Structure 1
């Protein structure tokens, strides 16, 4: 939902201005009652109060006005509490270069270093997310480090969360002198340290957040993975004393229709589990996480964020490319407004909304799903590695079996997630 400054004209009160006033009053009422701080409205908890204002604005142009055509000077400065980050478009801007590259930042995994891995096109790095009715500020490394001075920031989750962590590190590390920064990589816990700022940007591997038999030694067959949906303490003891906690968990839950769910300890050869539908198991696991946050976190000392699901793009027919092979030959974002593919599960979005909506500790929800849905062009595709080795030429020639349409090239889409993240900080 947005409140937009409308132009006024002498001797005449325009309908868009009146509608804007109504929208502003409605927002104040909503803000008073809202408990959770959102970076954007979400697809499952969207406030439609401003629809009348948009309709009124369109009516002044005979129904032909488009939100996309709103002049930049009419846009508000970004306000995380009122800017609907999900409504917007990707705008190509070759003049603004990424703040880093996979050759300049030494901390990127080879998995996401697409240019270094031979990706020939580069346009995917120059698309900027432009919300309809507000201006999203560019990522400012100096501002980010000032916010982090004397603090710890911890990203917790899966490999997509690791990608966002690496993005954040690469966005700030170039302005830090070489002798004032360090990186310690671990199998579970990795720490980037900005010594001059006495700050750390950390990552903790917990793909389900709750404990599983696939946390460290990954079980390749999803049917053999077992989750302790009521157990989180083993991981969570490593999340204490942190100033900014950013969580995610999604794609690992979607690897099968059923999730092997266990209560209590792994005993008797990990037997005694129950097969649950993925959304049911996800709800149980997320409630366990929510209970830990509510019972452990002091919101006066720690701010908690949750990144919504990162979409996968496996079915090109969903974006009207009948001859496509997964995301392999895509070079531009999807243009259709509101595009939503099967790689984003609305049932999971609903679970996230319902569980977080009942929490006592304020959670900032980073709703990156819709804006990422358009970016069929930005995945690592065949320019990645598998099993610790780069794809062979033979594998690259077989994108149906080897194209990675889950992870994102860096620089790329996760930089926009961090741009939104920093704007809220």
Structure 2
């Protein structure tokens, strides 16, 4: 305090002397003594700034912040990435929110959509289902970036293996990628194009689909044969597994076909059957069968690739619930035009159990795969976000212009598959985020 008082006193004395001097002296005298006055005031000005610093101008602060960004050391950045990987986004929990942007593509911009899922071209005029986005509770899900996806599969072969939901997801992906690069169909075989392959010349990438509704070896029921499927749970379907050494990334998607009547084998022995009245077999549920099929599939995939010292990236898309209001084969329909609100409707017991089995088997396989190098495995958890979208199915628009001649008494509905574009595009948005995470993990281990 004494030092500050002394400073003020000196300042006052100098100011008084200066005032009198300027009044009494002529202009010439002023010029003569002005330099000495400045020299006398300079120490006082410095003392004033020392004890009472001027505030930094806001514009200057902003300019400083822009020109001198804070840099994070590579060590800090690595730790941050590790924390992100330890706590990945839970895409299962979230809600659908309005989105003005809409989809990346429409029903006419890509020629890969199965006719029954091309809802717009079949006359669906209510298009509100196109303007929703999935918003996870814990993070932000970015819009799909076709160029980045293609860069991540450059010089690779990506395969979708499973039932018609695998094909539905594949066609969604191809339509989104086609907004950046046009694929060439290079292979086609089987009924309803069940085996197809596309090539992206821009990135030397191949994308294939393999029809295999059980993943394991099986004989599908037919009109001319028994009205039940046969599943061999201890061996995989060689229609896809025979080309496993040519695949770098694989997406498995099954579930709905396990609900059909079937007889189950392990080796040459019959384990039992599902919904097989008239056969002398033990009735068993399909949950354990799904678990065995997934276990065999994942174990075989890793072991075959490990035998050749070659890793593989594997994704398992979880069960996608149907939305029939009434029995699917008795005029059941899906007339909803908006998503369910959170808490409005709960997942059914079967949907919960199917998802639970798939998640658990992925985690078991992931733990077993740690003894191998170069293997990555994740569950693409889409069960809840799909369940909340009863409005996204083709419904009656699985057929062209179903009401062109008026409303008939019975119109068949598809409440299992998804319109393209539609909610299933979100599956591939999450797929891209998983691929980004895998790429980050690979770069840290190299």
Per the TM superposition, whether the score is higher than 0.5 is yes
Give the superposition deviation at 1:349.
2.4
Q: Deviations over 1:198-240 (max 9, x none)?
A: 10111110011112111xx756999521112222152311333
Cα 1:326/1:374, change in 2 over 3 Å: farther
Among residues 259, 263, 280, which one is paired with 1:260 in the alignment? Answer: 263
Q: Does the CA-based 8 Å contact 1:311-1:343 persist in structure 2?
A: no
- CA–CA separation in structure 2 for the residues paired with 1:145 and 1:377: 30
Give the superposition deviation at 1:312.
0.6
Does residue 1:228 correspond to 2:232, yes or no? yes
Q: Deviations over 1:59-81 (max 9, x none)?
A: xxxxxxxxxxxxxxxxxxx9795
**SS of residue matched to 2:121:** coil
Give the superposition deviation at 1:418.
0.1
The answer for the alignment partner of 1:410 in structure 2 is: 420
Among residues 185, 197, 211, which one is paired with 2:188 in the alignment? Answer: 185
Does residue 1:350 correspond to 2:356, yes or no? yes
- How many residues of Structure 1 are paired with residues of Structure 2 in the alignment? 331
Q: Which has the larger radius of gyration?
A: 2
- CA–CA separation in structure 2 for the residues paired with 1:411 and 1:422: 17
Q: Does the CA-based 8 Å contact 1:382-1:402 persist in structure 2?
A: yes
Q: Deviations over 1:103-146 (max 9, x none)?
A: 11111110110011111211111111011231111101111111
- CA–CA separation in structure 1 for the residues paired with 2:295 and 2:359: 12
Q: How does 1:205-354 map to 2 (within 5 A)?
A: 205-214=211-220, 223-235=227-239, 236-256=241-261, 259-264=262-267, 275-298=283-306, 301-315=311-325, 326-337=332-343, 339-342=345-348, 344-354=350-360
- CA–CA separation in structure 1 for the residues paired with 2:408 and 2:348: 25
The answer for the alignment partner of 1:58 in structure 2 is: none
Give the superposition deviation at 1:86.
1.6
Cα 1:233/1:110, change in 2 over 3 Å: closer
Among residues 110, 119, 124, which one is paired with 2:124 in the alignment? Answer: 119
Q: Deviations over 1:38-77 (max 9, x none)?
A: xxxxxxxxxxxxxxxxxxxxxxxxxxxxxxxxxxxxxxxx
Cα 1:191/1:221, change in 2 over 3 Å: same
Does residue 1:381 correspond to 2:385, yes or no? no
Q: Does the CA-based 8 Å contact 2:302-2:312 persist in structure 1?
A: no
- CA–CA separation in structure 2 for the residues paired with 1:243 and 1:167: 20
- CA–CA separation in structure 2 for the residues paired with 1:419 and 1:113: 20
**SS of residue matched to 1:240:** helix
Q: Deviations over 1:249-308 (max 9, x none)?
A: 10111235xx311233699xxx99764311122222222213212312349631111000
- CA–CA separation in structure 1 for the residues paired with 2:224 and 2:214: 15
Does residue 1:131 correspond to 2:136, yes or no? yes
Q: Does the CA-based 8 Å contact 2:92-2:382 persist in structure 1?
A: yes
Q: Does the CA-based 8 Å contact 2:316-2:362 persist in structure 1?
A: no
The answer for the alignment partner of 1:368 in structure 2 is: 382
- CA–CA separation in structure 2 for the residues paired with 1:225 and 1:231: 15
Among residues 393, 408, 418, which one is paired with 1:397 in the alignment? Answer: 408
Give the superposition deviation at 1:327.
4.4
- CA–CA separation in structure 2 for the residues paired with 1:209 and 1:279: 15
Cα 1:371/1:221, change in 2 over 3 Å: farther
- CA–CA separation in structure 1 for the residues paired with 2:429 and 2:250: 16
Q: Does the CA-based 8 Å contact 1:314-1:405 persist in structure 2?
A: yes
Among residues 142, 149, 153, which one is paired with 1:144 in the alignment? Answer: 149
Cα 1:219/1:353, change in 2 over 3 Å: farther
- CA–CA separation in structure 2 for the residues paired with 1:80 and 1:219: 50
Gaps of 5+ in 1: 1-27, 33-77, 318-324
Give the superposition deviation at 1:423.
1.3
- CA–CA separation in structure 1 for the residues paired with 2:184 and 2:301: 31
**SS of residue matched to 2:107:** coil
- CA–CA separation in structure 2 for the residues paired with 1:240 and 1:288: 17
Give the superposition deviation at 1:392.
7.9
Q: What TM-score, normalized to structure 2?
A: 0.67
- CA–CA separation in structure 1 for the residues paired with 2:420 and 2:95: 20
| Structure richer in helix, relative to its length | 2
Cα 1:301/1:238, change in 2 over 3 Å: same
**SS of residue matched to 2:96:** strand
Q: Does the CA-based 8 Å contact 1:158-1:248 persist in structure 2?
A: yes
Q: What TM-score, normalized to structure 1?
A: 0.70
Cα 1:222/1:294, change in 2 over 3 Å: farther
